[in-house]
């Protein structure tokens, strides 16, 4: 928390009351906030950093994450803003004959 901020007093006032406090404005915190907003649940997000990130720090986005983002109406817009690199698959160990054929 920043210097001079009394979180207890701030949250105790009726004006600042929230149902959910989300700690961290990373992908999980922001997605959770978007989901709460879609349900009409009041929330507040707090983060250690005083400024927002202006770039993605993710190397990839999982399929389930895209499904959730799509359900929030954000999937397509975020995919179009993303950077696409050549996809690579690396397999280690004994992958079996069927997967070996697919990996070629």
pLDDT per residue of the chain (104 residues) written in tens, 0 to 9: 445 555 555 555 556 667 899 999 888 888 899 889 989 999 999 999 888 777 766 677 788 888 888 888 888 888 888 766 655 656 566 666 666 566 56
**What's the pLDDT at 41?**
93
Task: Please report the pLDDT score of residue 10 as a whole number.
Answer: 52
Q: How far apart are CA 68 and CA 72, in angstroms?
A: 7
**Residue 61's pLDDT is what?**
78
- Tell me the C-alpha distance between 52 and 44, whole Å: 15
- The Cα 88–Cα 80 span in angstroms is 20
Query: How many Å apart are CA 102 and CA 47, to the nearest integer?
Result: 44
Q: What is the pLDDT at residue 1?
A: 44
Q: Burial, 10: exposed, middle or buried (Cβ in 10 Å; 0-12, 13-18, 19+)?
A: exposed
């Amino acid at each position: 928390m920043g210097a001079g901020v009394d979180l207890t007093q701030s949250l105790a006032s009726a004006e600042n009351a929230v149902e959910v406090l989300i700690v961290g404005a990373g992908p999980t915190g922001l997605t959770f906030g978007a989901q709460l907003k879609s349900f009409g649940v009041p929330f507040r997000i707090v983060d250690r950093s005083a400024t927002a990130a202006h770039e993605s720090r993710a190397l990839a986005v999982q399929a389930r994450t895209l499904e959730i983002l799509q359900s929030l109406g954000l999937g397509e817009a975020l995919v179009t803003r993303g950077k696409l690199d050549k996809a690579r698959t690396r397999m280690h160990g004994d992958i079996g004959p069927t997967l070996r054929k697919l990996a070629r």
